[in-house]
Copies of this chain bind each other. A is one copy, B any other.
Amino acid sequence: MNGFSLHSTLREDCHILGTWHDIWVLLHRDAHVRWFILVPETNLTEWHELPEETRQKLALLTQRLSSCLKTEQHCDKINLGLIGNMVPQLHMHVIGRWKSDPYWPGVVWGKSQSGKKYTEEQVNAFQESIKTYLEQ
């Protein structure tokens, strides 16, 4: 989308892994969990107001990333969320959780701590490992 710009909070909180059919794929810097954030290029702020095509692309991407988290990262549960109370730019959370992660069984929102970060090598390896799932 012409003139689309990623919200500054998302840019600060996340590594940018790439884009997939006009949806930005971000990885939250908090490495206690496996936390993707998907940002379609739109100015709309509510999921139900999105064009059907965008909703379908978001759904497909969510399915593929969820499969990846289960298979490659052995996550116990996938948490999905569209909230946007603090960052109005529409974004979808796809979070791989383990029963051993520090926030379990609570939600990550409002609790995420700094302290455990990815190395550059880990981000690159992660980016590589999701490629197969995104290119299906």
Residues of B within 8 A of A130 (CB): none
Interface: A109 (CB within 8 A): yes
A57 to chain B, nearest CB (A): 13
Q: Mark A64-102, 1 if CB is under 8 A from B, else 0.
A: 001100100000011111111110000000000100000
Q: Mark A92-124, 1 if CB is under 8 A from B, else 0.
A: 000001000000111101100000000000000
Contact A79 B70 (CB under 8 A): no
Q: How many residues of A contact B (CB 8 A)?
A: 28
Residues of B within 8 A of A80 (CB): 47, 80-83
A121 to chain B, nearest CB (A): 28
CA distance A7 to B107 in the complex (A): 20
6 new A-B contacts at CB < 8 Å, known A80-B82, A106-B109, A107-B107: A45-B77, A55-B59, A78-B82, A80-B80, A80-B81, A81-B83
> Can you pick out 8 interface pairs between chain A and chain B where the beta carbons lie within 8 Å of each other?
A48-B62, A78-B82, A79-B81, A79-B84, A81-B81, A85-B105, A109-B109, A110-B110
Chain A residues with CB under 8 Å of chain B are: 45-48, 55, 59, 62-63, 66-67, 70, 77-86, 97, 104-107, 109-110
